[in-house]
Amino acid sequence: MSRIIAVAALFILLTTAFAAAEPLRVATEGAYPPFNYIDENGEPAGFDVEMAKAICTALSRKCEIVVVPWNDIITRLVKGDYDMVVASMAKTPERDKLIDFTDHYYRSRSNFVGEAGRFPQATPEVLTGRTIAAQKGTVQENYLYEHYGTSNIRSAGTTKEAFDLLVAGEVDAVLSDSLTIYEFLQTPRGRTFDFIGSALPASDVSSFSHIAVAEGNDELCKQINHALKRLRAEGTYDRINKKYFPFSIY
Residue 210 CA, chain-centre distance (Å), reads 8
- How many Å apart are CA 175 and CA 182, to the nearest integer? 12
Burial grade of 70 (CB within 10 A; 0-12, 13-18, 19 or more)? buried
Instruction: Provide the residue type at 194 as one letter.
Output: D
**Helix pair 218-234, 236-244: axis angle to 10 deg:** 80
Measured CA to CA in angstroms, residue 112 lies from 127, 139, 144, 166, 200 at distances of 11, 13, 11, 11, 9
Q: Which of 111-120, 123-132, 197-206 has the lowest mean pLDDT?
A: 197-206
How confident is the model at residue 21, as a pLDDT? 76
- Where would I find the beta strands (DSSP E) of the chain? 24-28, 31-32, 36-38, 44-45, 63-67, 84-89, 99-107, 110-115, 131-135, 152-156, 173-177, 193-196, 208-214
207 pLDDT more than 60: yes
Topology adopted by domain 23-108+207-244:
D-Maltodextrin-Binding Protein; domain 2 (3.40.190)
Share of the chain above pLDDT 90, in %: 91
Domain ranges of the chain: 23-108+207-244, 110-201
Choosing among 3.40.190.10, 3.40.50.150, 3.40.50.280, 3.20.20.70, the CATH entry for 110-201 is: 3.40.190.10
What's the rounded Cα separation, in Å, for the pair 133 and 232? 35
The confidence band for 140, taking pLDDT boundaries of 50, 70 and 90, is very high
Between the alpha carbon of residue 143 and those of residues 17, 81, 120, 132, the distances in Å are 47, 29, 20, 12
User: What percentage of the chain carries pLDDT values higher than 70?
Assistant: 92
Please calculate the CA angle 59-60-64 and round it to the nearest 5 degrees.
90
25 pairs with which residues across the strands? 64
Q: What is the pLDDT of residues 223-240, one digit of tens each?
A: 999 999 999 999 999 999
At 37, is the secondary structure helix, strand, or coil?
A: strand
Q: Please report how many Cα atoms fall inside a 13 Å half-sphere around the Cα of residue 176, on the Cβ side.
A: 32
110-201 has the same fold as 23-108+207-244: yes
pTM of the model: 0.88
Residue 243 pLDDT greater than 60, yes or no: yes
Q: Is 176 helix (H, G, I), strand (E, B) or coil?
A: strand
Does the pLDDT of residue 111 top 90, yes or no? Answer: yes
pLDDT digits (tens, 9 = 90+) for 52-78: 999 999 999 999 999 999 999 999 999
